[in-house]
A = this chain, B = another copy of it.
Amino acid sequence: MHETAELLKEHHLKATPQRIKIVSMLEEYGHINIEDLYSEMLKQFPSVSLATIYKNINQMIESGLIQEVKIPKTKSVFELIKEPHLHMVCESCGKIEDICVGTDKVIEEAERLSGYSIKESFITLRGICPDCR
């Protein structure tokens, strides 16, 4: 019980009802944008403020609990930080999924060609999901 509250506390954030709701929505949906987050929260907290959501999202980013995912031609979404993965976006239904694929070859090749030493990679693939095909 209340493992979501624990997650918040591990990141030095007080476990308020609004924060617990935000994190459980991230757990449930995987990825969510501010607008959807707000309208979902209104159902449970009819007087929740957009300011509260922004403040909490920003604090969760600073504390390393979540991160923003920027996707071409789309509003940013937020996700809980977990092991590295890439994003699959369905251009038909808009769904976003995480998958884990080895990217070492590409990164090594990029390092070799560019001379950069790479620390992070952000990969988004756009296409049609099995359900939409």
A residues in contact (CB < 8 Å) with B: 67-68, 70-73, 86, 88, 90-91, 97, 99-103, 105-107, 109-111, 113-130, 133
Q: A72-B68, A101-B106, A103-B106 are in contact. Are A114 and B126 (CB under 8 A)?
A: no
Q: Can you identify 29 A-B contacts, CB atoms within 8 angstroms? A: A67-B72, A70-B70, A70-B72, A72-B122, A88-B116, A91-B119, A97-B114, A99-B110, A99-B114, A100-B113, A101-B106, A101-B110, A102-B106, A105-B106, A106-B123, A110-B125, A115-B130, A116-B127, A116-B130, A117-B127, A117-B133, A118-B125, A118-B127, A119-B127, A121-B123, A122-B123, A122-B125, A123-B123, A123-B124
Q: How many copies does the complex hold?
A: 2
Question: CB distance B122 to A107 under 8 Å?
Answer: no
Given contacts A70-B71, A129-B116, A130-B116, contact A110 B88 (CB under 8 A): yes
A89 to B116, CA, bound (A): 9
C-alpha gap A86/B117 in the complex (Å)? 15
Q: Chain B's nearest CB lies how many Å from the CB of A127?
A: 4
